[in-house]
Amino acid sequence: MRNKRILITGGSGSWGQELTRQILSKDPEQIVIFSRNEAMQVAMKIKFNDSRIKFVIGDIREPKAIMEACEGINYVINCSALKHIDVCEKQPREAVKTNIYGVQNVIDACIANCVEVCIHISSDKACNPNLIYGQTKAISERLIIEANNQTLNTDFFCVRSGNILGSAGSVIPIWIKQIAEQNCIYLTNPLMTRFFITVQDAVSLTLKAMNKSDRGEVFVFRMPSFYVQSLSELIVDYYGDSKTKIKKLDPRPGESVNELLVTEDEAERTLVSKDYFIVYPLIDVKTANYPKITNVTRLKHEYSSGDVAVYDKDELLKLVQKAGYCL
């Protein structure tokens, strides 16, 4: 990153702000924050107060805007997405515009401007998706992978993450608000499991992947998984009182008990390493030189939150505290 110019789309969000914090320590020439949210950009400018950060109002849906933003850029990290599941279900056309057409606009801009590397932030919802959000993220992964065959000047790859603890719209701030307003929280299934990671760790692993990528891979974080019931009890212990209730709701349409980070089909072409599962593409990628995956190093089966979930509340507490909650 030293003396490089980095563009972060969706850069005023949780991912973008942590990327900015970590990249600044690597002495870049400039970080360009490209996003639609004027208020968050203003707050971020005050928070960081660093002349190396440039703020640009723009939307990846607009080809001209992202094309201009990529001029002179070395690295692009695409964090832009419509990610709220209910919103995407109710307005699928809007999800497609951002999560598919917008990603293609980013690809076109990177190729036209000879950007060195483009990293696309994906989601566990891209695995065997049954809802619009996951379906659009699955397609965006395919677009990023295939983009490597359109140019030899830009290397494209993806990182796939589970739930970021404490990010905007995630479950912890929602529960804290419910306790403050109603002295209860809502949970659909006590057997539900989810992968969790802090944004600090997610960003650190993303930047590490830049040094490991050839081109066209999907880097899947190796993440701990916990029962959501354990997380709900932890939040009630620290933010509630003896009268705080955990109320059961009917599952939302399409909501799964467990989540996948690597599917059964992908496991056949997935390399196991210390920090990641590295999923190699189905298609041939120009100039890519992937290692041979043996029975020793490849993933033997799908990677499901239900298979690795633990009840360890002490470990979960450490993770929640690392996410910035003073429990």
Residue with tokens 């009890």, as numbered in its chain: 233
Nearest of 215, 202, 226 to residue 276 by alpha carbon? 202
Active site residue 90: no
155-161/218-221 β-pairing:
parallel
Token pair, residue 159, equals 């990182």
- Helix spans in 148-227 (H): 171-182, 199-212
260-262/184-187 β-pairing:
unpaired
The SS3 assignment for 54 reads strand
Q: Which of 45, 125, 245, 247 is catalytic?
A: 125
59: Cβ–Cβ under 8 A, 6 or more apart, which residues? 36, 65, 66, 80, 98, 102
With residue 196 as reference, give the H or E element that holds it: strand 193-197
Residues carrying an active site annotation? 125
